[in-house]
Every structure is written in C-alpha cells, then in structure tokens.
Amino acid sequence: MSGELVLVTGGSGFLGAHCIAELLNAGYRVRTTVRSAKREADVLAMLKAGGTEPGDRLSFAIADLMSDAGWPQAVAGCDYVLHVASPFPPGVPKHEDELIIPAREGALRVLRAARDAHVKRVVLTSSFAAIGYGKMPPGGQPFTEESWTDPTAKVSAYVKSKTLAERAAWDFVATEGGKLELAVVNPVGIFGPVLGADHSTSTEFVQRMMNGAMPGLPRLSFGVVDARDVAELHVRAMTNPAAKGERFLAIAGDFMTVREIAQTLKTRLGDAAARISTRQLPDWLVRIVGLFNGEAAQLAPELGKVKNATNAKAVRMLGWSPRSREDALAATGESLIRLGLLKTSQ
C-alpha cells in the first residue's frame, strides 16, 4: 500500500472528494482528474473541510470524460483507478443522450487508458439505478447484485445512463481488457458530510427539506448510505482479491420512505429541522404536477413502490460495516448547518 498511486476521476465531486480523503488517510498517493485547473482549489478546500491534509501526496490531472486528451497522462504510473466521475444533473436533460453518452463513453475512455497503462484494477462507481429498475425480485425479496435494470423499460435518462455505462464496462473488460481487473460499487442514495457548496443530488434533497422548499412529501422510498462508507467500500473493492469481477451494493439498511427520512432529520437535528414538513402528498397531486414538471414526472412511476436491497455481499466478502442510515442523514444536515448552506431565518 505505502507509496501506491491511485487515480480518482472526478475529484471535485461529492463522492470523489470522500474517496480521495479515504485513500490519503489510508496512506496512498492520489492523483485526481478535474476538468479545469480552476477546480484544484475546490478539491483542496473540500478535503480541508473534511479534516484531511494531503501534503505532497495529492496531484492533479486535467481530463474530461468527453475527450481522449489527458487520460494517458492521468493514468500513467497508477496502480489502481477509482472511476467515480459521471454526469448527474439536478434537472431533467432535454435528451437522454446528454447523460448516456458521457457516462458510457467516459467509462470506456478510462478503462482503455487504464488497460494501456497496465493498471491492476479499476473500481467503477455505478449505482442502484443499474440494479433496481427492472423486474422486481420474486416474493418481495430485496434486490441483489444479480439484479439488472432493464434499459428498454420506461426509466429515466439517469437510470438508463448508469445501466448502459456499467454494461459497457463489463463488456469491455471481457473482450478487450487484457489483464485489467474490474470491480463495481452500486450505491443507493449517497448522504453524509457535505464538504462544500458543490454536493450531490441526494444531499441537495436534504438541503431542500431543511430550507422548507418541500411543503409536502411524495410517497417514495429509497436507500441511504454515507459517502464515507461508500468511499471505504471502493478501497476494499480495489485491493481485495475476491472483489475481482464482482459488483457490490452499497446500502446501510432497509429502504426508507421520504417521510421516514424527514422524521429522522427532525428527531436528530431538533430546531435546525423546524422547516422540514412531514405532510404526505397524495399520489394524484404528484402526477398532476408531473404534467408540467419533468422532475415530478420522473417520480410518478415510483410512487408507492416497495423496494429494498441488501448489502450482505459487501459485508460477507469484504468485511464492510457501514454507519446507520440515521447517522448518515444526521451527518448531512449537521454539515449543511456547519458550512452555512441553509437559508437563514427571516
């Protein structure tokens, strides 16, 4: 481990920064890609907010998922790659290819460069989106790593992009990968400590709730996991021989309804969560709003669906032990308060 060099793609992102911190704290040297040199200061600020001082063990490379330029230099001399970078816009893209092409082509670009540089293993950040939007498991069983989303079904552009990108990655390694090894991590909704103003769609969801921007809650449920635990799972999947050729669901416990998430935040954060509503919206109202709002329209097919997933494989094979769902959610809210990212009282 000591002195081994790991490339983390997308280091200025929420999960990317947590992966860098996890690696630095474990003694690795890290190189991370950013699309512009202007983002280097942002990465350093995020690490500082998380209590990590990289010293001389962090370097930067300029590379973009949509261009070949810079990737050979980014992977040169690296032992491992964590491919975390992927588009995830807060809104609905005008066309699904705005997400699908960068996700799929970016993954292939990184894998090709890693193979050519004789990298040992790539850990790809996929998503529960590539698992849980196909055929429901029989008898109310939870989704597992054996499950795959059906990209031909009526799914969102994001869900489709993650599924097609992961499929393309496995196909590439099987047919053109040579000695390159691949492991995949499939997180559910990623929460935990926000490190800067640029954070994830999941943490923005908590921010909106705490700002009172959600006067009613749709009848939805999803999984919760802490970004620190997702980062740790990436490192375990990077080094454990048993992880070669495997995918791992990253989830802290059973799915939670949006209402349960709201109630957890109110219980854990007290007065700071005073603006959070626990009022349930009727499904028909969400569907009507969906006629005029693309984001609401994407939610409508999931209303009232009871899904679940299990982390048993990651626990059994890699010894992974994540924080509780409640701790992950509380850490999100506490960090938003600490960084001044919530509306102040009028």
**Is 91 exposed, middle or buried, given 0-12, 13-18 or 19+ CB atoms closer than 10 A?**
exposed
> What are residue 222's phi and psi, to 5 degrees?
-155, 170
Q: Are 119 and 79 in contact (CB under 8 A)?
A: yes
User: What is the distance between the terminal CA atoms of the chain, rounded to a whole angstrom?
Assistant: 52
Q: For 241, which DSSP code?
A: G
Fill in the amino acid letter for 298.
Q
Q: Residue 200 and residue 189: Cα distance in Å, rounded?
A: 9
Q: For 62, which DSSP code?
A: E
Catalytic residue flag (residue 154): no
Q: Residue 161 and residue 181: Cα distance in Å, rounded?
A: 22
**Dihedral of CA 61/236/161/262: which sign?**
negative
Structure tokens at 337: 């308060």
- The full DSSP string for 63-77 is --TT-STTHHHHHTT
Write down the catalytic residue from 38, 48, 154, 162: 162
Torsion-angle region of 77 (φ positive above 0: left; ψ -120 to 50: alpha; else: beta): left
Residue 80's SS3 state is strand
DSSP run (H or E) holding 181: strand 181-187
Give me the count of residues in the chain: 346
Residue 261's SS3 state is helix
Active site residue ranges: 162
